[in-house]
């Protein structure tokens, strides 16, 4: 992992209107780091097994906490302050991910209207190459 990944793993910063683009990029990044299952809740915070020593359990818990808080740090560092200030009530990456999904994901007609508005307002700037413009429009 490069140094920049530690603080900001993707170049897209989450703002309310770009949630769908941000979520695609962050999900791809987390899958690539084998951390996606923590976000989905498939890998949950461990509990101590009956035959497990306290030290073994502490190691497993520390591993999970480390991964969970690494993801939380990335979620904070790739969102604007007005969004990440709302994360203070959550202790797990899954809770934050679900909060963002419920708050910012648009579906149905609202989603199509958002896409149409974004596309309609996107203009090729004077001097902007066709390739740069297409790269700007393609995620829409």
In this prediction, residue 6 has a pLDDT band, given cuts at 50, 70 and 90, of low
CB 140 within 8 A of CB 112: no
Per-residue pLDDT, 131: 84
pTM of the model: 0.74
Percent of the chain whose pLDDT exceeds 70: 88
pLDDT digits (tens, 9 = 90+) for 8-58: 788 899 998 888 889 999 999 999 999 999 999 999 999 999 999 999 999
pLDDT at 1 over 60: no
Q: Where are the domains of the chain?
A: 7-105, 106-140
pLDDT at 118 over 90: no
């Amino acid at each position: 992992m490069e140094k920049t990944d530690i603080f900001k793993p993707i170049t897209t910063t989450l703002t309310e209107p770009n949630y769908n683009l941000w979520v695609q990029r962050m999900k791809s990044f987390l899958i690539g780091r084998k951390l996606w299952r923590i976000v989905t809740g498939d890998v949950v915070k461990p509990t101590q097994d009956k035959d497990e020593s306290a030290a073994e359990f502490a190691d497993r818990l520390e591993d999970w906490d480390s991964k969970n808080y690494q993801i939380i740090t990335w979620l904070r560092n790739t969102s604007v302050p007005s969004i990440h200030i709302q994360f203070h009530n959550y202790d797990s990456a899954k809770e934050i991910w679900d909060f963002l999904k419920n708050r910012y994901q648009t579906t149905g007609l609202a989603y199509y209207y958002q896409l149409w508005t974004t596309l309609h307002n996107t203009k090729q700037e004077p001097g902007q190459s066709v390739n740069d413009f297409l790269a700007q429009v393609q995620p829409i």
